[in-house]
Amino acid sequence: MHKKIKTYIGIMLFVISLIVYILTLEPTTSFWDCSEFITCANKLEIAHAPGAPTFILLGRLFSLFAGSPGNVAYTINLLSATASALTAMFLFWIICWFAEKLTANSKRIILSNPKQF
Protein backbone atom coordinates (compact mmCIF):
# COMPACT_ATOMS: atom_id res chain seq x y z
CA MET A 1 0.00 0.00 0.00
CA HIS A 2 1.35 3.41 -0.89
CA LYS A 3 2.34 5.79 1.87
CA LYS A 4 -0.10 8.51 0.77
CA ILE A 5 -3.00 6.07 0.70
CA LYS A 6 -2.15 4.83 4.19
CA THR A 7 -1.92 8.40 5.41
CA TYR A 8 -5.31 9.33 3.95
CA ILE A 9 -6.96 6.16 5.28
CA GLY A 10 -5.49 6.82 8.72
CA ILE A 11 -6.76 10.39 8.73
CA MET A 12 -10.20 9.28 7.51
CA LEU A 13 -10.26 6.66 10.27
CA PHE A 14 -9.43 9.40 12.79
CA VAL A 15 -12.18 11.70 11.50
CA ILE A 16 -14.83 8.97 11.38
CA SER A 17 -13.86 7.71 14.84
CA LEU A 18 -13.92 11.23 16.25
CA ILE A 19 -17.36 11.92 14.78
CA VAL A 20 -18.74 8.70 16.26
CA TYR A 21 -17.17 9.44 19.64
CA ILE A 22 -18.52 13.01 19.65
CA LEU A 23 -22.02 11.83 18.72
CA THR A 24 -21.99 9.39 21.65
CA LEU A 25 -20.14 11.65 24.09
CA GLU A 26 -21.29 11.84 27.70
CA PRO A 27 -22.29 15.50 28.31
CA THR A 28 -21.74 15.26 32.07
CA THR A 29 -19.93 12.92 34.41
CA SER A 30 -20.67 9.23 34.54
CA PHE A 31 -19.95 6.28 36.78
CA TRP A 32 -16.81 5.20 38.66
CA ASP A 33 -13.50 6.94 37.92
CA CYS A 34 -14.73 9.36 35.26
CA SER A 35 -16.01 11.88 37.79
CA GLU A 36 -12.82 11.68 39.80
CA PHE A 37 -10.59 12.26 36.80
CA ILE A 38 -12.73 15.15 35.55
CA THR A 39 -12.54 16.80 38.98
CA CYS A 40 -8.80 16.18 39.27
CA ALA A 41 -8.18 17.60 35.81
CA ASN A 42 -10.28 20.69 36.47
CA LYS A 43 -8.72 21.46 39.86
CA LEU A 44 -5.26 19.93 39.17
CA GLU A 45 -5.59 17.55 42.09
CA ILE A 46 -4.04 14.14 42.62
CA ALA A 47 -6.08 11.14 41.49
CA HIS A 48 -5.84 7.65 42.94
CA ALA A 49 -2.95 5.46 41.81
CA PRO A 50 -1.66 5.29 39.11
CA GLY A 51 -3.25 8.68 38.57
CA ALA A 52 -2.59 9.27 34.85
CA PRO A 53 -0.77 12.62 35.25
CA THR A 54 -0.56 13.26 31.50
CA PHE A 55 -4.32 12.89 31.16
CA ILE A 56 -4.88 15.23 34.11
CA LEU A 57 -2.57 17.90 32.69
CA LEU A 58 -4.12 17.64 29.22
CA GLY A 59 -7.57 17.65 30.82
CA ARG A 60 -6.69 20.87 32.61
CA LEU A 61 -5.63 22.38 29.30
CA PHE A 62 -8.92 21.30 27.70
CA SER A 63 -10.94 22.58 30.68
CA LEU A 64 -9.51 26.06 30.17
CA PHE A 65 -11.51 26.21 26.92
CA ALA A 66 -14.75 25.10 28.60
CA GLY A 67 -16.11 28.62 28.96
CA SER A 68 -18.30 27.92 31.97
CA PRO A 69 -17.92 25.40 34.81
CA GLY A 70 -20.91 23.51 33.44
CA ASN A 71 -19.02 22.60 30.27
CA VAL A 72 -15.89 21.23 31.97
CA ALA A 73 -17.07 17.62 31.96
CA TYR A 74 -17.97 17.82 28.27
CA THR A 75 -14.60 19.26 27.25
CA ILE A 76 -12.63 16.70 29.26
CA ASN A 77 -14.77 13.93 27.75
CA LEU A 78 -13.91 15.50 24.39
CA LEU A 79 -10.24 14.96 25.30
CA SER A 80 -10.97 11.27 25.83
CA ALA A 81 -12.77 11.08 22.48
CA THR A 82 -9.87 12.78 20.70
CA ALA A 83 -7.33 10.48 22.34
CA SER A 84 -9.38 7.41 21.39
CA ALA A 85 -9.67 8.55 17.77
CA LEU A 86 -5.92 9.21 17.64
CA THR A 87 -5.35 5.72 19.06
CA ALA A 88 -7.41 4.18 16.24
CA MET A 89 -5.41 6.11 13.64
CA PHE A 90 -2.00 5.20 15.08
CA LEU A 91 -3.04 1.58 15.56
CA PHE A 92 -3.95 1.39 11.86
CA TRP A 93 -0.55 2.81 10.89
CA ILE A 94 1.30 0.42 13.23
CA ILE A 95 -0.59 -2.59 11.86
CA CYS A 96 0.25 -1.49 8.30
CA TRP A 97 3.90 -1.09 9.24
CA PHE A 98 4.07 -4.57 10.81
CA ALA A 99 2.24 -6.10 7.83
CA GLU A 100 4.77 -4.56 5.44
CA LYS A 101 7.68 -5.88 7.50
CA LEU A 102 6.10 -9.33 7.71
CA THR A 103 5.43 -9.58 3.98
CA ALA A 104 8.90 -8.24 3.13
CA ASN A 105 10.51 -10.90 5.34
CA SER A 106 8.30 -13.63 3.85
CA LYS A 107 9.22 -12.62 0.31
CA ARG A 108 12.90 -12.54 1.21
CA ILE A 109 12.76 -16.04 2.72
CA ILE A 110 10.80 -17.49 -0.21
CA LEU A 111 13.04 -15.91 -2.84
CA SER A 112 16.25 -16.91 -1.07
CA ASN A 113 15.44 -20.63 -1.21
CA PRO A 114 12.59 -21.38 -3.64
CA LYS A 115 13.19 -25.16 -3.66
CA GLN A 116 11.73 -25.50 -0.17
CA PHE A 117 8.41 -24.07 -1.28
Q: Which domain holds residue 48?
A: 3-116
- Is residue 105 classed exposed, middle or buried when 0-12, 13-18 and 19+ CB atoms within 10 A define those classes? exposed
Query: Residue 50 has what pLDDT?
Result: 79
pLDDT averages per 10-residue partition of the chain, 117 residues: 89 97 87 82 82 86 85 90 96 93 70 63
Q: How many domains does the chain have?
A: 1
Q: For residues 14 and 86, is the Cβ–Cβ distance under 8 A?
A: yes
Q: DSSP letters of 9-37? A: HHHHHHHHHHHHHHHT--SS--TTHHHHH
